[in-house]
A and B are shown apart, each in its own frame.
Chain A
């Protein structure tokens, strides 16, 4: 486990992009990627929650190992993520009402975003230390935001093109996502 921090970031962001390689967070990816504006906000909110819940998950994992109850891991993670989201919501509401209004419904929805729980599970599986966890969370958040922005940009273009009637809606979006996923495979070479 002597990977450099830069590699961990690149790995989470591009090579193993959470959306295109692991298929995590597909629901918000398909749901809120129709406008660039909302996609940016959603990406920001998810990245922030990822960072906070990654730190919490690190603490919890070591605490559960210490008391010898690893079977509680999943339940503890999901409870922590749900309460982190609630906490983040309260803090943002208190200190920046403008941002709170901008994020709107997206904040509570993040609880059921599998990318967050996936991040917590993967970092535990890979045995990262605290600093590596932080970088991994940052990279995953950046990768998710990137995927969302790319998709939103493409869908804004799709709206004004002449798509066959049968393919309108989810089908064409999935095809585009497949192409993007193939493009992201090109980054695999970066890992060496």
Chain B
């Protein structure tokens, strides 16, 4: 644990600097066709109460049967977080009454989770990295959904989500700023998506975070924490931490004390509000679920899952840095999403990695952003972008023209070669044509020629510009430069 605060993360208060301490519990819906203990479907967005088995509705005499694939997904996630896999774990009942909890208890894992300690490396702006400890990962059932706004008096219950498998991934209180908390969620989501164990769609609720926040004077023991429940976007995580840290600092600086509390984040107002205090907390009466045997995993099965893990963001990032000569920041951005990493690699294969990275992160990302589409739906395929880079490399087009060609590719979907031919954008490497243009420019600008000859060497750029303009940008800038220098010094 990093007990020493980095000064840039400290929050200035009236009584001096404060350090915020953050731990996260992320609920990630397991990517699986069926629920944790029943065969019902997990498809999002279906008509209410259409994906509900007798088990999910907790009909009398119904029994849970573990879905082996969900366990495999949890183990895969644990391995992806470099965590200890517990070969024996236990499902417990967490008892409480709520209308969208049909059994009157949630089947969860309490003292013996399937995954133990692990770690996650977060990538910070500027290319820095930090390691955040993972405390545990356990499997549990999701509840259904209570809908309060369909009727002024009644609450409706949709059990489609009831029984869906969740992984609760608990971090150590290792984060020290809202940015780090956001980076943690981002990185975790990235790893889950690489692993294919959670789709990470926070707006559909497949990933939600409970954010534990406390503040302290640097070097002091941990302060009392408040837990902000169910924060459902990375931006909100950041806002919630910022607001909550400031609130706690204000309370403490006014001479008050922090009460251990569960709070909610009101995204509309950007603030957190108290839900219940420790005294009002439920007594969940956890005990081992007698309907389920302890979960025992075969070490060979775990080894097979481990062998099948894809290359994960951290390894990919390291490889991009060594194999393509990218900087940490660029490599980090490219590997955040598997699709961008794949796209980049397809472009970079057999080409200059840095140039490929610049184009992907520059022109391509800008175009995607503008169009509001993901890289999976890019109007320019990796092959097409590669083809354009080839034209750039062999001198068919200049860097400047390349930007226009790329814009046309985005617009028309045509390959670079076709656009270059159709628009006659082929670079002029014919020295005769360039020389003619240079002669015309020199003849028409005698004043500048004199200045240049008088020692203003910087004017060469201006001359190049004029020649480029005269050739419609198609002249090879290097050739133009060389020819002009020769002529002007003659």
Q: Is chain B found bound to chain A in the same assembly?
A: no
Residues of B within 8 A of A (CB): none
